[in-house]
Amino acid sequence: MIVRTLPRMPDDGELVERLRAGDEQAFVVLVGRYQPSMLRLARTFVPNAMVAEEVVQDSWLGVLRGIDRFEGRAPLKAWIFQIVVNRARSTGVREHRGAPDLGGTITVDPARFDSSGQWIAPPQHWSDRVVDRLFAEKAADRIHAALEELPPAQQQVVTLRDVEGLTSTVVCDVLQITEANQRVLLHRGRARLRQILEAEFGKL
């Protein structure tokens, strides 16, 4: 019996070194690894997919130009996402003035909170309770659609935290927001997603 092993995928650190050495294939691998996530993030800042694609293309140019300055103090993914955010904001499509947008009014049933304002049953990461594969696929599709219904600031935080898996500290650095604002945006975004899922699938 012949056992075939899959080729080893290079980690980000290896790709950085190869890219610095002029290895074009390393760039191809990075694009394949991060392009979908970059488009998803850019789309939370700009009005349509075409502009998001332009932002991402410009961001890749920024990656190539700045790779020698990448110090590795944060994950490569976070550094790339920060470039995307900066490029998206610099398009001027949406102006960010004054206090950070905390996502509008609260859209959660007040009965979910106790007298002190704390959650009676806190929202959980949607995948923690989804175990049936067919349901999970349906839920995942609905969640991605629901994400686009969130206010932009909530969408950005939830995407980076729950879709891309970044830590709260990294998300604050990428979006240049405070930890307090990040918590509020994540709280409201998750609550809204849970509300949408419960309306469609029943109580989670």
Per-domain residue ranges of the chain: 12-90, 110-201
Q: Which two tokens stand for residue 36?
A: 């979908």
pTM of the complete model: 0.71
Give every CB contact of residue 127 below 8 A, 6+ residues apart in sequence. Answer: 136
Residue of higher predicted confidence among 80 and 9? 80
Give percent of the chain above pLDDT 90: 53
Identity of residue 77 = K
18-71 pLDDT, tens per residue?
999 999 999 999 999 999 999 999 999 998 889 999 999 999 999 999 999 999
Q: How many CB atoms lie within 10 A of CB 77?
A: 19
- Tell me if the domain spanning 12-90 has CATH number 3.90.950.20: no
Give every CB contact of residue 137 below 8 A, 6+ residues apart in sequence. Answer: none
Identity of residue 78 = A
Q: How many alpha carbons lie under 13 Å from residue 88 in its C-beta half-sphere? A: 28
* 6 band by pLDDT with thresholds 50, 70 and 90: low
CATH no. for 110-201? 1.10.10.10
90-120 pLDDT, tens per residue?
875 453 444 455 554 444 555 555 555 554 5
